Amino acid sequence: MISIKTPAEISAIREACRIVVGAFRAVEPLMVPGTPTVKIDEAVEKYIRSQGGRPAFKGYPNPEGKPFPASACVSVEEEVVHGIPNGRPLKAGQIVGVDIGVEKDGFFGDSAMTFAIGRVDSLRQRLMRATREALIRGIAKARAGNRLSDVSHAIEEHVSSYRFSVVRELVGHGVGRQLHEEPQIPNFGPPGRGPALQENMVLAIEPMVNAGTGDVDTVGDWRVVSRDRMPSAHFEHTIVIKKGAPDILTAGK
């Protein structure tokens, strides 16, 4: 069941999202060659806890019950999502997706963005641009009266215009009192289908886009990588549905 949030609940989600935005600002200076990915994770956790929040991903179980070991997902190059921070340094020419979730006072916020490390080639520039633009196109369709698949279709249509591939096995989601709530939000499909969007639904829209095939593999307990090992990009916002343009709670990062 898709929940409609009260003004008080939206205010609490907004506060969790404020911390998410601040965590991205804290790590942005670290997104340079030579930074070990674990340092990004440490900065995320330090900031979230300084704001009275809790890293929502740390300890989150996968379907087999294995807890995620870090506060942020740091996904390098062919890692689509759920990259585990470690001691490997970032290298010039890479793209790196950072996904951050926060729980504060029983409510959640969630967002992701992809960074270029130093100068990156034209393929990676286009991939990041296509994914960011696809998110914007999807959000533009996320308004009361539209159907859920209007968001999905707008994302896929834009990604396809670049001849890149959306990842079909991974989806966006509702967010609120849980990190992952109904509805699931695919990044593909025809328009005009699925539940009608209503005011004060809160959604996390997140296109995950591969430069090559959209097929993925899971490596180990968590890491999801593109099957052809081509680079992948990921952008995400938490939004509130309105009659007009949605309220983007994670804007400003």
What is the per-residue pLDDT for 85? 98
Q: What percent of the chain has pLDDT over 70?
A: 100
Average pLDDT of 49-78?
Answer: 97
The tens digit of pLDDT for each residue in 232-245 reads 999 999 999 999 99
The tens digit of pLDDT for each residue in 177-210 reads 999 999 999 999 999 999 999 999 999 999 999 9
What is the per-residue pLDDT for 252? 79
Residue whose token pair is 């834009």: 158
Average pLDDT of 91-95?
Answer: 98
Domains and CATH numbers, the chain: 7-248 (3.90.230.10)
What is the per-residue pLDDT for 167? 98
CB atoms within 10 A of CB 245: 11
Q: What percent of the chain has pLDDT over 90?
A: 99
Model pTM score: 0.96
What is the per-residue pLDDT for 1? 85
